[in-house]
Amino acid sequence: MPANPLGRALRGRRAGHHTLVWARPELSAPEGFALTSPAFEHNEAIPERFKGKMFGATPSPAIAWTEPPAEAAELVLIVQDPDVPMGKPATHALAAGIDPALGGIAEGGLANPSPVADVVYGKGAFGKLGWVGPMPPRSHGPHAYVFQLFALDRKLSLTEGFSLEDALRAMAGHVIARARLDGIYEAV
């Protein structure tokens, strides 16, 4: 497939990792547990089957975490692409109400509606609820997809369709541990 001239022209434009929610001081906490996926290693390629589509659902990769602190009442997962050619990262998943004791979410588990009990979704890319797979501009270069998992000392009680800003306000001052997993995807 020939190179995409727009993707090439925008290669130098990226929101940057400093724009991730991970970088916000009010969400800072020790990395008190680990986040992994059987589908890809940290900083390695996300398989093509998880690629986003303009129409139709795409399965989310399975994720697993080690035991968070005992005080964790809820987990919040935020998946962002900081390499988009605009001022803020694109949010590819925004899920709250995750039971820390689950230990993970199976492949396709971030579908809407959620097959995981008590999980509620916020609005992500294109206003969608649930997982939106990688869809970087072709020829723009590799994009990071940063899975950020936050353990909170209280339940947030967010309702379906909440915004990223709603989540950040509710989470501020309540993050007791966090874990991160970066995957890479490139549309050539």
Q: What is the CATH number of the domain that holds 121?
A: 3.90.280.10
Q: pTM for this structure? A: 0.94
Q: How far apart are CA 188 and CA 181, in angstroms?
A: 23
pLDDT by residue, tens only, the chain of 188 residues? 677 555 455 566 777 899 999 999 999 999 999 999 999 999 999 999 999 877 777 899 999 999 999 999 999 999 999 999 888 999 999 999 999 999 999 999 999 988 999 999 999 888 899 999 998 888 788 999 999 999 999 999 999 999 999 999 999 999 999 999 999 999 88
For the record, the structure tokens of 130 come out as 């649930």
- Structural domain span for residue 91: 5-185
Determine the 3-state secondary structure of 107 from DSSP.
Answer: coil
Looking at residue 117, what is its pLDDT?
A: 92
**Largest Cα–Cα separation, the chain:** 53
Looking at residue 9, what is its pLDDT?
A: 55
Looking at residue 4, what is its pLDDT?
A: 57
The domain tally of the chain equals 1
Q: Is 147 exposed, middle or buried (0-12, 13-18, 19+ CB in 10 A)?
A: buried
Cis peptide before 89 (omega within 30 of 0): no
